[in-house]
């Protein structure tokens, strides 16, 4: 598993450096710009679905809002924090695919190949350089939910499965999977712990009109 982490981290470092050095300013996709601008807006006191609207679930915007609070008014740092989060998500996804394969097969070679196969998906290793993308966190939380239910942590598994839905609605497959695995591997009590964990996750609550904005609302320079 160490090999998976090290090589994936090196691949991501090379790709991010190659792409960012090719531009005068850090590159960003329009999709990332929407998520990051709304996150910045929330961090500056804006209210989601009231002052700013996007027909998506709230967890991606709350995630970028936290990064905006950390970055302050430094838009470059804000972009690099989002890129760093996506890189960590890629590393986590590759590691989890390998770990799940090893747990199911007991074959170290198969688990290594399975993990690295993710890097062959078109754009998978490159996209983090362009900023925030909710689908990476959807996959990360969903795979981690499966890993936890297979290792007898039903409450945490349920919470992360709910978080995967909070990042993108098609993540609804993961709560179904972990509840099904709970019934298959154990009993009703374990499945109940999964449901309880999911219902306690912030992403399972109704969207709130405001987020975590603590800085006074003000306009700052933007390069994107």
Where are the domains positioned within the chain? 1-20+27-132, 134-207
Residue 162, pLDDT above cutoff 60: yes
Residue 202, pLDDT above cutoff 70: no
Instruction: Pinpoint the alpha helices (H) of the chain.
Output: 2-20, 30-43, 59-71, 75-105, 108-117, 134-150, 154-167, 173-185, 188-200
Per residue in 41-94, pLDDT (tens digit) is 999 999 999 998 888 899 999 999 999 999 998 999 999 999 999 999 999 999
Q: Are 28 and 131 in contact (CB under 8 A)?
A: yes
Per residue in 87-106, pLDDT (tens digit) is 999 999 999 999 999 999 99
Global pTM value? 0.84
């Amino acid at each position: 598993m160490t090999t998976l982490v090290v090589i994936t981290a090196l691949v991501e470092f090379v790709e991010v450096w190659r792409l960012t050095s090719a531009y005068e300013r850090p590159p960003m996709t329009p999709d990332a710009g929407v998520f990051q601008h709304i996150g910045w807006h929330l961090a500056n006191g804006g209210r989601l679905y009231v002052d700013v609207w996007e027909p998506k679930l709230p967890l991606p915007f709350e995630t970028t809002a936290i990064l905006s609070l950390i970055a302050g008014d430094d838009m470059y740092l804000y972009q690099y924090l989002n890129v760093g989060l996506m890189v960590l998500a890629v590393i986590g996804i590759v590691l989890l695919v390998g770990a799940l394969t090893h747990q199911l097969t007991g074959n170290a070679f198969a688990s290594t190949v399975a993990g690295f196969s993710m890097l062959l998906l078109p754009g998978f290793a490159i996209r983090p350089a362009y900023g925030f993308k909710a689908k990476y966190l959807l996959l990360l939380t969903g795979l981690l939910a499966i890993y936890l239910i297979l290792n007898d942590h039903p409450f945490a598994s349920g919470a992360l499965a709910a978080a995967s839905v909070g990042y993108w609605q098609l993540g609804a497959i993961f709560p179904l999977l972990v509840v099904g695995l709970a019934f298959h591997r154990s009993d009703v009590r374990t499945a109940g712990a999964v449901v309880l964990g999911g219902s306690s996750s912030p992403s399972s609550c109704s969207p709130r009109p405001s987020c975590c904005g603590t800085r006074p609302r003000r306009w700052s320079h933007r390069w994107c």
